[in-house]
Amino acid sequence: MEKVLIELNRVTKTYQMGEVTVEALKETSLKIYQGELLVILGPSGSGKSTMLNILGGMDRPTSGKVLFDGEEISDAPESRLTRYRRNELGFVFQFYNLITDLTARENVELAANLVEDPLPLEDVLKDVGLDSRQEHFPSQMSGGEQQRVSIARAAVKKPRLLLCDEPTGALDFQTGKLILSLLLKINQERGSTVVIVTHNTAIGAMARRIIRMSSGRIAEITENPHPLSPERIDW
């Protein structure tokens, strides 16, 4: 039996916009297994980021439960959620979210300092191919380089769960594939469970399991017995 790392149990998320209620997630249930690499697909507005934010303890469900490693986190105090985000999670965002007045190395170091047993800084910077650029500031780096820093920042914590929201959304095709290869490497070599959210259906080919979102619901779950390496994906 595969171990469930995190689970959504009939999660609904509504946003109140004046008179209008937006149901971003509708009674959604999903189990994510330890060690898997999962791709969540769906058009803009289908609820992907809402789901990722709830998985990441950055937002709470309106109803339903979230269980991480068997523990309910959806009703946990804010201090518990902070500890959860700090110790268990890595995040990679479309626009990198680096601290602009810290160098590449300092951005990664800051994350490393949050946890008890980080990976050696040098190893992580080398893994993402940035060891020669570690004294550069984000503004001195290309989008792809900044995304590599943000992956190093997530990886240095040895997160059990790595959540990526449109990680290639701002990058050209070749750079995007390189970023996906790094995410796959963290999944395979470090054992992190990786969730990639994207509107780009081609990226689904790299996952063994693909979730398709539509209007706040999971429309389909596909098993893919022969995932493609990111270098072989085209879009």
139 binds ligand ADP (CB under 6 A): no
For residue 91, the minimal CB distance to Mg ion (Å) is 13
94 binds ligand ADP (CB under 6 A): no
Residue 108 to residue 113: CA distance in whole angstroms: 9
Binding positions for ligand ADP, 41-80, rule CB under 6 A: 42, 44-50
**Site size toward Mg ion, by CB under 5 A:** 1
Strands (E), the chain: 4-17, 20-33, 37-41, 63-68, 71-72, 89-93, 161-165, 193-198, 209-214, 217-223
Contact between 231 and 179 (Cβ < 8 Å): no
For residue 48, the minimal CB distance to Mg ion (Å) is 5
Three-state secondary-structure class, residue 205 = helix
Per-residue binder mask for ligand ADP (CB under 6 A), 5-44, x = binder: ----------x-x----x-x-----------------x-x
List the one residue out of 109, 130, 123 whose CA is nearest residue 179: 130
For ligand ADP, the closer CB: 138 or 204: 204
95 binds ligand ADP (CB under 6 A): no
Contact between 25 and 12 (Cβ < 8 Å): yes
187 binds Mg ion (CB under 5 A): no
Tokens found for residue 130: 């940035």
Per-residue binder mask for Mg ion (CB under 5 A), 41-70, x = binder: --------x---------------------
